[in-house]
Amino acid sequence: MLIDTRINRDTFIHNEIIRGNFSYEGANVLYDFFQDDEYNTVEFDPVAIRCEYNEATFKEIKEYYSNIEPIKNANTFDELLEVLNEYTMVCGVSEKNTIVYFQF
């Protein structure tokens, strides 16, 4: 479903489906996450990745999940990361401070 060991960084990051949903920086975060995770030998499925993972800013996450009180009350980036880790899997933070996470 995720990354076949034959998929290199360049192929992953420039995949049309991946790039349609993630920034260059976010795609790099995902690639690194999958390489470090137990998924690194599973078949590459960009459609599943697009459906299961998301990249968003601090503000966007607070808007998307405003119905979840701890997320709504998070005042700093670090607080939000801590709360998100309680609800889902955070893959990482991009160089542009977007958060890549498993959608919930």
What does the pLDDT look like over 75-88, one tens digit per residue?
999 999 999 999 99
Residues of the domain holding 77 = 9-102
Instruction: Give me the amino acid identity at 90.
Output: V
Burial class (CB in 10 A: 0-12, 13-18, 19+), 85: exposed
Instruction: Please report whether residue 2 resides in a domain.
Output: no
Instruction: Please report whether residue 74 resides in a domain.
Output: yes
Alpha carbons within 13 angstroms on the beta-carbon side of residue 101 total: 22
pTM of the prediction? Answer: 0.87
Q: Total domain count for the chain?
A: 1
Instruction: Please report whether residue 4 resides in a domain.
Output: no
Q: Are 83 and 71 in contact (CB under 8 A)?
A: yes
Share of the chain above pLDDT 90, in %: 79
Q: Cα(75)–Cα(30) distance, rounded to whole angstroms?
A: 25
Instruction: Please report whether residue 13 resides in a domain.
Output: yes
Instruction: Please report whether residue 55 resides in a domain.
Output: yes
